[in-house]
């Protein structure tokens, strides 16, 4: 049997690395799409220490620079002719105000627009895969999110957490709208969203500073380990009963920790007008279009 191929962004640490471990043990060919190649090499060596027969590939990808997204897809396409799973995991959280290479606010640009571009470009290869899926990572922070179309670049004011929540809402809306459009165009690729609850990962660095001791103490009390936080991602990627469009997260209090289950987002989150506007703006800003009816 041909081994399946999974691309995982931000695969060298935290949730990404834990997700890699699962797919390696299941015999997948794991492609780690990462920004820091040195850390990526260390992560690959660590994985091979425990799983010597694993098929692991490293590719450079910086979601804050769309030219590298295009480069990644070109390099990947030269080596692989199909893709079975794309896991849009990488992200940045509450940095000081900064911009991507294209001038987008960093969190919206990296967390949403980078993955929007990557998914668009990889879709033809996904359609050739076996039961292909796209899993996009959101967060319970989406609950406090609002897409401010008049200030996506932060020029009219910037609050790090507000913009993080916006980017995670964008992830959730993108995953749902993508699945709707895929079904409308009779594609076999499914799109789902997942969130890890509150998990102890290196995302919890405040800007460029090291995490303060009291934050680490609080995290120990309220968070679950990354290995548990990765379970909703794995369920979204592998559960054969899922139809596409679902949102998977922990089942505990406030969905902060627990076992993975299908969740119902807050009322009115999936606003059709907002989802369409976000899609149109994303195509306009990134310069990529899905062309769902003609790309097959």
pLDDT in tens, 38-76: 999 999 999 999 999 999 999 999 999 999 999 999 999
Task: Give the domain extent around 269.
Answer: 5-286
Q: Considering the domain boundaries, does residue 291 fall inside one?
A: no
Structural domain includes residue 296: no
Q: What total number of domains does the chain contain? A: 1
Structure confidence by residue, pLDDT tens digits, 239-294: 999 999 999 999 877 667 788 999 999 889 999 999 999 999 999 999 999 888 64
Q: What's residue 63's pLDDT?
A: 98
What does the chain look like in DSSP terms, one character per residue? -PPPEEEEETTTSHHHHHHHHHHHHTT-EEEEEES-HHHHHHHHHHHHHH-TT-EEEEEE--TT-HHHHHHHHHHHHHH-S--SEEEE-----SPSS-B-TTS-BHHIIIIIIIHHHHHHHHHHHHHTSSS-EEEEE--GGGGG----TT-TTSTT---HHHHHHHHHHHHHHHHHHHHHHHHHTT-S-EEEEE--SSEESTT---TTSPPPHHHHHHHHHH-EEHHHHTHHHHHHHH-TT--SS-EEEE-SGGGSSSSEEEEPPPTT-S-HHHHHHHHHHHHHHH-----TTT--
- Predicted confidence (pLDDT) at residue 205 exceeds the cutoff of 50: no
Please give the Cα distance from 90 to 293 (Å, whole number). 29
pLDDT at residue 130, as a whole number: 92
For residue 295, being part of any structural domain is answered with no
Residue 292 within any structural domain of the chain: no
Q: What is the pLDDT of residues 8-20, one digit of tens each?
A: 999 999 999 999 9
pTM listed for this prediction: 0.91
- pLDDT given at position 109: 98
Residue 294 lies in a domain: no
The CATH number linked to 148 is 3.40.50.720
Q: In terms of pLDDT, which residue wins out, 123 or 213?
A: 123
pLDDT in tens, 68-113: 999 999 999 999 999 999 999 999 999 999 999 999 999 999 999 9
pLDDT of residue 207: 41
User: Is the residue at 281 inside a domain?
Assistant: yes
Q: Which of 164, 180, 187, 270 is catalytic?
A: 164
- Examine residue 57 and state whether it is found in any structural domain, yes or no: yes
Q: At residue 30, does pLDDT exceed 90?
A: yes
Tens digits of residue pLDDT in 127-166: 999 999 999 999 999 999 999 999 999 999 999 999 999 9
Tell me whether residue 293 is in a domain.
no
- Residue 60 bears catalytic tag: no
């Amino acid at each position: 049997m041909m081994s399946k191929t999974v691309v995982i962004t931000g695969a060298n640490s935290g949730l990404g690395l834990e997700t890699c471990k699962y797919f390696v043990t299941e015999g997948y060919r794991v492609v780690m799409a990462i920004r820091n190649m040195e850390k990526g090499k260390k992560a690959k060596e660590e994985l091979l220490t425990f799983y010597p027969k694993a098929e692991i590939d490293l590719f450079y990808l910086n979601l804050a620079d769309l030219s590298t997204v295009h480069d990644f897809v070109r390099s990947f396409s030269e080596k692989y002719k199909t893709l079975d799973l794309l896991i849009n995991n990488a992200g940045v959280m509450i940095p000081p105000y900064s911009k991507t290479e294209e001038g987008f606010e960093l969190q919206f640009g990296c967390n949403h627009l980078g993955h929007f571009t990557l998914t668009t470009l990889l879709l033809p290869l996904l359609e050739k895969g076996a039961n292909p899926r796209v899993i996009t990572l959101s967060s319970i922070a989406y609950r406090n999110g609002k897409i401010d179309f008049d200030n996506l670049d932060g020029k009219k004011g910037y609050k790090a957490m507000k913009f993080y929540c916006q980017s995670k809402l964008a992830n959730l809306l993108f995953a749902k709208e993508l699945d709707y459009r895929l079904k409308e165009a009779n594609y076999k690729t499914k799109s789902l969203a997942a969130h890890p609850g509150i998990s102890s990962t290196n995302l919890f660095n405040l800007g460029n500073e090291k995490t303060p001791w009291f934050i680490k103490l609080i995290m120990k009390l309220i968070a679950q380990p990354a290995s548990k936080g990765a379970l909703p991602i794995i369920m979204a990627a592998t559960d054969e009963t899922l139809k596409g469009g679902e949102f998977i997260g922990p089942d505990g209090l406030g969905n902060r920790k627990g076992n993975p289950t299908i969740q119902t987002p807050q009322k009115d989150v999936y606003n059709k007008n907002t989802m369409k506007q976000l899609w149109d703006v994303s195509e306009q800003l990134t310069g990529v279009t899905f062309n769902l009816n003609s790309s097959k």
